[in-house]
Amino acid sequence: MVRTDALHEMAADLGAEVARNFALLYLDMLDDRLEKLRTALAADDPAATLTSAVSLHTASWMVGADGMAEAVRGLADLARRQDLAGARHTLPALEELVPAVALALRQAISDLT
């Protein structure tokens, strides 16, 4: 669910504390990012949906949450094509990933030294 080498590479480059803090910030902001995505979709706003999806995709990729990143990328692609009905259809599957991603990321954070 989380590619732990992403955090280890970040730790090697920037230090374990920076990697840990970035991953914790990702977790702290995850619900807000999802809420912005939900709000943009509810408002039928393709630009805001795309911006929110790209933000979540990039952050997910950086912490190694590849499954989440790929799911959000698919949603972003739909928003880019202005297929918000399709994007809304993919949101529940994306939201189902959150608990497992959060758990795996917390474990990866605890493994950083």
pLDDT digits (tens, 9 = 90+) for 34-69: 999 999 999 999 999 999 999 999 999 999 999 999
Contact 2, 64 (CB under 8 A): yes
Q: Which domains does the chain have, with CATH numbers?
A: 4-111 (1.20.120.160)
* Tens-digit pLDDT profile for residues 91-102: 999 999 999 999
What does each C-alpha distance from 58 to 61, 96, 109 come to in angstroms? 5, 19, 18
Instruction: Tell me which H or E stretch contains 91.
Output: helix 84-111
How far is residue 58 CA from its own chain's centroid? 7
pLDDT, average across residues 71-95: 96
> Is the pLDDT assigned to residue 14 strictly greater than 80?
yes
pLDDT, average across residues 66-79: 96
What does residue 8 show for φ and ψ, rounded to 5 degrees? -65, -40
Written as six digits, the tokens of 80 are 């880019």
Helices 16-42 and 46-63, axial angle in degrees (round to 10)? 160
Is 1 or 24 the better-scoring residue by pLDDT?
A: 24
Q: Whole-model pTM?
A: 0.91
Express as a percent the part of the chain with pLDDT over 90: 94
